[in-house]
Amino acid sequence: MTQYREIQENLFEWFKDIPDKDVIDFISTFVYGEVNPRIEISKLIGRFLEENKLSLDYINYLWDIDNPDSSWRRTSIGTVDIINNIRHGLLSLAFNRYRNSQL
């Protein structure tokens, strides 16, 4: 199984009991960087990062995004790949939940 497919299956499982509104707000924040005033979403993101042992990696990833001209990167290429696969997997999750709700 590819890393992307494994991540995608884990995301489907992790979010299976999360309401659609919270999933959309999570994706808006995690994937698109939109600010969300709901403390529940911040806690959900924190829990997601902790459970997947990505807290520090995600902070470093965001620092690298905010400082593109820095000559020193805090995030390894492997970690960037994992976070990007999670972001893409979240978009797939949103599409599949929408599609399943329409059937």
> Mind listing the pLDDT tens digit for each residue in 36-73?
999 999 999 999 999 999 999 999 999 998 888 887 88
Q: Which runs of consecutive H residues, i.e. helices, occur in the chain? A: 3-14, 20-30, 39-51, 55-66, 77-102
Q: Are residues 30 and 90 in contact, defined by beta-carbon separation less than 8 angstroms? A: yes
Residue 22 has pLDDT above 90, yes or no: yes
Does residue 99 carry a pLDDT above 90? Answer: no
The single residue listed with the structure tokens 């299956």 is 9
Query: What is the extent of the structural domain holding 87?
Result: 3-102
- Greatest CA separation found in the chain? 49
Look up the pTM and report it: 0.86
Tell me how many domains the chain contains.
1
